[in-house]
Structure 1
Amino acid sequence: MKPFTFKQFEIQQSKDVFRVGTDGVLLGALTYVNAASKVLEVGTGTGLISLMLAQRNSKAKFLGIDINEEAANLTKLNFENSPFKSRLKNVHQDFKKFESKEKFDLIISNPPYFEESNSGKDKIARQTIELNFKQLISKSAELLSQEGIFSVIIPMEAGTDFIRIASENQFFLIRKINIKGIETANIKRLILEFSLIEKKLEESEFVIEKSPRQYSDQYLELTKEFHIFKGRN
């Protein structure tokens, strides 16, 4: 499968691992990472999000984890081929069984979000078979540092349940980005950031396209250090 080329790194892809997509790019570009020194990505896939965050924060160290062996191997390849390789590590492991003596300043995930179905397409990456929201949230609460951030991107319709489960695990919602495909459309995705410390909620809106297949100025500005756009430097 054709690799996906960014300005500072390249993503090798596989038909059996969830490919580079807009959700991952948005999470990698919008999540607050500047204050983090230790970052954990849950469900790395290709390693895209960690690579974007490593480009944005030149001092942080990253650990990626994925239960899918092929995804873990692909992440390792993409990490090793990147200019940030000295700060990137990954493991093939079930997050539910993951243990760490150290806490993380940022835990980030583009988690499975569909209930189990008969579809075999991207089964582990898309469906909540191996890791559901409650498991992801409760384990992240154990591993997050006191002033750390837990960040995810999920479908809008899952937002209420996700926020409720997070609250039950002593997480406070501190940032919410409502993402629209185009300006006139309904909200399709949410980026949610949580903290173990209560803070004032910061809420904003992000529009991906100004018209079908035409990126918005907001998206072009956000991703200008990552994407290679035709006709743009």
Structure 2
Amino acid sequence: MPNTYFQFKQFRINQDQCAMKVCTDSCVFGAYVEVAQAKRILDIGTGTGLLALMVAQRSEAVVEAVEINPEAQAQALQNFQESSWAERLKLHPMPLQEFAKTCAQQYDVILSNPPFFLASLKSDDAAKNSAKHTGDLLFEDILTFAQQHLSKEGKLYLLLPPAEAAHFGELAKANGLYLCDTLEVYTRTGGKCIRHIQTYTFRPTSAAKGHALDIREADGTTYTAHFTALLRDYYLIF
């Protein structure tokens, strides 16, 4: 049975009501995005509120979050209210499409770990399907929102598997957003690439920068120095 919570150094993620639990690649994502200079941040599809809380810890920004699932909404709100940054965290309990109709803000950073399985088989768990499969939230919805609400010098960050990341990149370019950086996340040194962390801006680039992060050493057990340094401010074990 999964733990009902995940304890970080400065906050706790209660997750007993959420289909999607805290996972390593999401933690890498939350620690990697650049937010130090951001004044306003939006997390699309916040789930438990993990990413919103991670960027709140590393910034002075107002952090807003959008979530469609009622159970996840309640869980995220609980986690926000119990954190040290409750006054800077705001939850919008609605679909992104509905939020877009009334949103008048510009965001310095928009980040999302969106539903990403475009063609894989779905499970019998409706909540997991909503969290993992495109349907309620489409890539086009994220791009349309970013076009209207990402600041001129802002950055859009996505966490996706490699194939879906390539698909999103094609859609983004067609919609005036350009890939400027990709971090490839590997399970271990010499292992499988499981996720791409992509950074998009409105500025065209001749070639996106590429980086790699191995979570564990080749032995599959020891965390790499790169991963340890990235998560040092969050994980209790470091």
* 1:180-219 deviation digits (Å, cap 9, x = unpaired): 1111123221000101123563321111111223211111
Does the 8 A contact of 2:92 with 2:99 survive in 1?
no
The correspondence for 1:137, drawn from 133, 143, 159, is: 143
Match of 2:58 among 50, 56, 59: 56
* CA displacement, residues 52-91 of structure 1 (integer Å, 9 cap, x when unaligned): 101111x100111101011111111000000011100101
Per-residue deviation, 1:33: 0.9
Distance in 2 (CA, whole Å) between partners of 1:128 and 1:228 is 33
1:159 aligns with 2:161: no
| Cα deviation digits, residues 12-60 of structure 1 (max 9, x gap) | 0125431111121011000111121100100001001011101111x10
Stretch deviating more after TM superposition (159-168 or 199-208): 199-208
Q: CA deviation at 1:118?
A: 3.6
TM-score by length of 1: 0.93
1:173 aligns with 2:175: no
How far apart in 2 are the matches of 1:119 and 1:140? 30
Does the 8 A contact of 1:146 with 1:197 survive in 2?
no
SS at match of 1:115: coil
8 Å contact from structure 1 (residues 149, 195) kept in 2: yes
Q: Residues 20, 168 of structure 1: CA spacing in aligned structure 2 closer, same or farther, 3 A cutoff?
A: same
Give the equivalent residue in structure 2 for 1:208: 215
User: Could you tell me how far 1:106 is from its partner in structure 2?
Assistant: 0.6
Closer/same/farther in 2, CA of residues 52 and 74 from structure 1, 3 Å limit: same
1:1-233 aligned at under 5 Å gives the runs 1-57=3-59, 59-99=60-100, 100-115=103-118, 117-121=121-125, 122-199=128-205, 201-210=208-217, 211-229=219-237, 232=238
CA-CA distance at 1:138 after TM superposition = 2.0
What residue ranges of structure 2 are gaps of 5+ in the alignment? none
Change (3 A) 1:214 1:60: same
Mapped contact 2:35–2:55 kept (Cα < 8 A): yes
Structure 1 SS opposite 2:195:
strand
Number of aligned residues: 229
| C-alpha separation in 2, matches of 1:142 and 1:24 | 26
- Aligned residue for 1:24, secondary structure, equals helix
Between the aligned partners of 2:19 and 2:34, the Cα distance in structure 1 is 26
In 1, distance between residues paired with 2:38 and 2:124?
A: 36
Distance 1:25 1:33 in 2: 15
For 1:7, what is the secondary structure of its paired residue? coil
Cα RMSD between the aligned structures?
Answer: 1.5
